[in-house]
Amino acid sequence: MAPRTKALGTVAAVVLSLAGAPAAVAQPAAAEPASGTPLLIGHRGAAGTTPENTVAAFKNGRASGADYFEIDVQLSADGVPFIFHDDTAARTTNVEEVFPDRAQDPVTSFTWAELQQLDAGSYFGSRFAGERIPHLDDAARIAGGSTGVYVEIKSPKNSPGVETLVARELEQDGSWRRLVAAGKVQVLGFDEASNREFARLAPEIPLQQLTTVVPGPEQLASWAGFADSVGTNYRNLGAQNVADVRAAGLALGVYTVNAPEAIRSMVGLGVDAITGDFPIQAARLLRGQKVLPAAPGIRIAEALNNPAGNDVQPENGEYVLLHNASERSVDVSGYAIRDAAGNVLRVGDGYLLAPGGQLRVYTGPGTSSAERYYNGGTASVLNNEGDSLALWTAQDRLADLFAN
């Protein structure tokens, strides 16, 4: 199937990097990466600094100066398009309190009125208490100006007809129409059949095929028949993947890129768009500014995600190593290490790190000492295949970003 050509100009404006995009489109077989600064997309709004997929996150994403913020859309039991990532509401809402017998039920089994009874902000911090699950149209009303929206169609098998409804909203809602006219909307998803259906319904909207690993040339050529770009996990990306995507005439985005070193690596590979949980900090890096200008000097030096034996075991197991890179002693009592899924490891009271000092923060149980603190957990937190971690001070200030 020949690559679709309807949106080459649109892709240059919406997907490809701001500098060098026309050349990438005009020379689809070239292996050279796109030049210039990639587009920046705030993941689930700004999921690293605010509760994901909430109005607060969308405002944070817009304030960062990111080119877009990304959202996930599903359908309620009564057909209302709402913004939520997971298949159940348990991780990011108080559903266990409000609907204790339905905590593990599909989030799409709740009506819109029921979803509006849930608190979608408190899990991230008390200052976000009362944040509600947004309607699809809330994202468009918050975006605007220089900020667009990446609309991911999430788990379409759980939301029959979601492609038709999203296409209709983009066409009929005034806020969405303005964004579409400005070239500031893109639809994306992992489900190929769903993407093909959306492309049929709204061929004028740029479309991205998501994947965990970039496939071979034959599959990429097939995707080029309905999609304008590919979005992939940055951890699995290499130079040959970039060349293969270019050869198919597709643009290339990566997710979820949080640590400064990872962002620099993706810029070096020449990707066209970077999606991350910390768009404010990523924007600073891309502008050549200090990423965390007020950071106290405590760094995440390493994380042991997959130790020998059980990940969580007494006196041992997975841990995160903190290092004081400053020239003064720093009290790290109450510091929190948060991963991309919202899991948190904390430091107990009484930990003053001297310059050059280190502290191992363990997930599991053990005997705490000057060099080790044990959280007493019973289940692993760190992703064995690599994780993105953020370090927060006891005063809720972002201190460091790390990925392995």
Q: pLDDT confidence of 31, banded at 50, 70, 90?
A: very low
The whole-number pLDDT of residue 244 equals 98
The whole-number pLDDT of residue 9 equals 32
DSSP assignments along 205-224, one per residue: S-EEEEESS---HHHHHHHT
Same-domain check for residues 242 and 320: no
Same-domain check for residues 335 and 272: no
Same-domain check for residues 105 and 253: yes
Q: Are strands 319-324 and 251-255 parallel, antiparallel or unpaired?
A: unpaired
3-class state of residue 174 by DSSP? helix
**Residues whose CB falls within 8 Å of the CB of residue 196, separated by 6 or more in sequence, listed in order:** 226
**Residues whose CB falls within 8 Å of the CB of residue 80, separated by 6 or more in sequence, listed in order:** 111, 112, 135
| Spatial separation of the C-alpha atoms in residues 188 and 106, rounded to whole Å | 22
Angle between helices 279-286 and 55-63 (to 10 degrees): 10
Same-domain check for residues 261 and 364: no
Q: What is the rounded average pLDDT of the residues 261-274?
A: 97
Most distant CA atoms of the chain, gap in Å: 64
Domain boundary among 286, 314, 329: 286
What are the residue ranges of helices labelled H in 270-399?
279-286
Same-domain check for residues 249 and 329: no
CATH number at residue 224: 3.20.20.190
Q: What is the rounded average pLDDT of the residues 51-60?
A: 98
Domain boundary among 286, 310, 330: 286
- 23 pLDDT higher than 50: no
**Residues whose CB falls within 8 Å of the CB of residue 289, separated by 6 or more in sequence, listed in order:** none
Same-domain check for residues 183 and 102: yes
Specify which residues 41 forms β-bridges with. 68, 275
Closest-CA residue to 33 (of 254, 243, 238): 243
User: Could you tell me what percent of the chain has a pLDDT over 70?
Assistant: 91
Angle between helices 192-201 and 162-172 (to 10 degrees): 40
Two structure tokens written together for 202: 């709204």
Two structure tokens written together for 110: 């709740």
**73 within some domain:** yes
DSSP assignments along 375-404, one per residue: ---SS--S-TT--EEEEE-TTS-EEEEEE-
Same-domain check for residues 345 and 256: no
Same-domain check for residues 198 and 277: yes
Closest-CA residue to 227 (of 211, 247, 262, 251): 251
| Spatial separation of the C-alpha atoms in residues 84 and 89, rounded to whole Å | 8
Which of 39 and 35 is assigned the larger pLDDT? 39
**30 within some domain:** yes
Two structure tokens written together for 318: 């997975």
The whole-number pLDDT of residue 16 equals 34
**235 within some domain:** yes
CATH number at residue 381: 2.60.40.1260
Specify which residues 358 forms β-bridges with. 323
| pLDDT digits 0-9 by tens, 206-235 | 999 999 999 999 999 999 999 999 999 999
**207 within some domain:** yes
Are the beta carbons of 133 and 119 closer than 8 angstroms? no
Two structure tokens written together for 174: 């005034």
| Spatial separation of the C-alpha atoms in residues 246 and 252, rounded to whole Å | 8
User: What is the number of structural domains in the chain?
Assistant: 2
Which residue has 């509006």 as its token pair? 116
Closest-CA residue to 400 (of 346, 344, 338, 354): 338
| Spatial separation of the C-alpha atoms in residues 389 and 48, rounded to whole Å | 9
Same-domain check for residues 329 and 360: yes
**291 within some domain:** no
Same-domain check for residues 330 and 275: no
Q: pLDDT confidence of 61, banded at 50, 70, 90?
A: very high
The range of the structural domain enclosing residue 218 comes to 8-286
Same-domain check for residues 138 and 181: yes
**293 within some domain:** no
Domain boundary among 258, 286, 314: 286
3-class state of residue 366 by DSSP? coil
| pLDDT digits 0-9 by tens, 277-313 | 999 999 999 999 999 999 999 999 999 999 999 999 9
Same-domain check for residues 251 and 163: yes
**2 within some domain:** no
CA angle (69, 163, 107) in 5-degree steps: 75
The whole-number pLDDT of residue 4 equals 60
Strand stretches in 39-141, DSSP E: 39-42, 68-75, 81-83
**1 within some domain:** no
Rg (CA), the chain: 22
| pLDDT digits 0-9 by tens, 42-51 | 999 999 999 9
Which of 220 and 2 is assigned the larger pLDDT? 220
